[in-house]
C-alpha cells in the first residue's frame, strides 16, 4: 500500500498534531486513543512509515511488539483489567481507518461491553488521567 505521509499518525509523529503520550522510544510512540473502546485504550505505532503489516520492516515490527508488550503490562498494572485485547487491522476491509500501522491495547472488564470502534471522542482530562496512571506504571 502506498504510504500517505499526511495521515493522522504521521502528523502526530512529526508533532504537527497533539496526542496524549504514554511513552516513546527511538523507534515507537504510544499514546491514548481519542475514541477509546474501553478505559485505558492505548495505541502503539512504529516511527517507520508503513501502512500495514505487509509494508513494515521486520526490525520496526519487532521494536513495536516489544513496546506493545511493555505498555500492555503497564496498562495491566495501572488499571487492573480482567483481560487485555490486542488488535491490529490491515486495510479498510479489515476495519483500518488510519493508514499507519498501529496496535490497539484495549483493557477489558467482565462487566464493561466493548465500545464501538472510533465513534465517541473521550474528554482529554479523562484520557490524561489514565495516561498518567499508565506512565506511572512504566516508571516515568
Residue labelled with grid coordinates 502506498: 2
The residues in 49-78 that bind ligand 5GP, with binding defined as CB under 6 A, are none
Neighbours of 12 (CB within 10 A): 19
Backbone CA torsion sign across 47, 116, 131, 72: negative
Active-site hit among 27, 41, 100, 102: 102
Cβ atoms of 93 and 66 closer than 8 Å: no
Distance of CA 11 to the CA centre of its chain: 15
Cβ atoms of 12 and 28 closer than 8 Å: no
Q: Is 102 a catalytic residue?
A: yes
Asked if 39 is part of the footprint of ligand 5GP (rule: CB under 6 A), the reply reads: no
Q: Shortest distance, CB of residue 70 to ligand 5GP, whole angstroms? A: 19
Closest CA to 45 of 118, 116, 99, 113: 99
Piece of 50-58, 61-69, 90-98, 132-140 that binds ligand 5GP (CB under 6 A): 90-98
Residue of the chain from 10, 22, 23, 33 that contacts ligand 5GP (CB under 6 A) = 33
Asked if 25 is part of the footprint of ligand 5GP (rule: CB under 6 A), the reply reads: no
Please, which residue, 7 or 25, has the CB nearer to ligand 5GP?
7
Asked if 103 is part of the footprint of ligand 5GP (rule: CB under 6 A), the reply reads: no
Size of the site for ligand 5GP (CB under 6 A): 13
Asked if 122 is part of the footprint of ligand 5GP (rule: CB under 6 A), the reply reads: no
CA angle 49, 54, 56 (to 5 degrees): 30
Q: Which residues are designated catalytic?
A: 102
Amino acid at each position: 500500500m502506498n504510504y500517505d505521509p499526511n495521515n493522522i499518525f504521521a502528523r502526530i509523529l512529526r508533532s504537527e498534531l497533539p496526542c496524549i503520550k504514554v511513552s516513546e522510544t527511538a523507534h515507537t510512540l504510544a499514546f491514548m486513543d481519542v475514541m477509546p473502546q474501553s478505559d485505558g485504550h492505548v495505541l502503539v505505532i512504529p516511527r517507520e512509515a508503513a501502512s500495514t503489516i505487509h509494508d513494515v520492516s521486520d526490525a520496526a515490527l519487532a521494536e513495536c511488539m516489544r513496546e506493545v508488550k511493555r505498555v500492555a503490562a503497564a496498562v495491566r498494572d495501572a488499571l487492573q483489567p480482567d483481560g487485555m485485547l490486542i488488535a491490529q487491522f490491515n486495510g479498510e476491509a479489515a476495519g483500518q481507518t488510519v493508514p499507519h500501522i498501529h496496535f490497539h491495547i484495549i483493557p477489558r472488564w467482565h462487566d464493561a461491553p466493548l465500545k464501538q470502534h472510533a465513534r465517541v471522542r473521550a474528554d482529554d482530562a479523562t484520557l490524561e488521567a489514565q495516561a498518567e496512571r499508565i506512565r506511572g506504571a512504566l516508571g516515568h
